[in-house]
Amino acid sequence: MDSKKKQQEPKPVKLEGSCHCGKVKYEVDSYTPVPFMICHCQADTKTAGVYNCNIMGEYSTFKVKQGNEFVKIYQAKSSETEAGSKEKDPNKLSEHKRHFCSECGSYLWAHSSEYEQWVYPFASSIDTPLPVPPEQIHIMTDFKLNHIEIPKGKHITTFQRYPTGIEGIEKWHKEHSLYGTYKV
């Protein structure tokens, strides 16, 4: 029974990421590497392209291996990023800091003081092969670009804004038996 228990213990996967020009390289351990939630908010659309899909890593293991001098940070205004924001000051910056390469413009990861233990790599910056999700959740679809069509099907769920009560990335991985189970 002890050996069975050991086999089921979650293990992180080391993810390696980089920008398009290769000047910035980073690594991070993740128990939750399945890219399942796709955001269509205005800030993500403008900074990342058509939409954004983050995964989650352990911030304590995050390391910029090369090119830290090329990493820049962008903070959108809170009112532009948070659905239903009650922010009185329309110029207040979001706690969500988007890190990107100043040479090629690649969006690399996000970090927020609200969730200091986590870092959120942009899935397309990850060089390690990522698993295919069993479902896709598209959020903030009220802000989706008109020329983007969201696929339809039984494994596609959409929300017009940021859904309240939706499971977080860690809980989603655990409920799908994917937490700490991915092997590279």
Q: pTM of this prediction?
A: 0.83
Confidence of residue 115 (pLDDT cuts 50, 70, 90): confident
Say which CATH number the domain at 104 has.
Answer: 2.170.150.70
Per-residue pLDDT, 163: 81
In a domain, 1, yes or no: no
In a domain, 69, yes or no: yes
The DSSP string of the chain is -HHHHHHHS---EEEEEE-SSSS-EEEEEESB----EEE--HHHHHHHSS-B-B-BEEGGG-EEEE-GGGEEEE--BHHHHSTT---S-TTPBPSEEEEEETTT--EEEEEEGGGTTEEEEBGGGB-SPPPPPS-EEEE-GGG--TT-----STTEEE-SSPPTTPPPHHHHHHHTT-TT----
Total structural domains within the chain: 1
pLDDT, one tens digit per residue, over 96-111 is 899 999 999 999 999 9
- Residue 64 is part of which domain span? 12-80+93-175
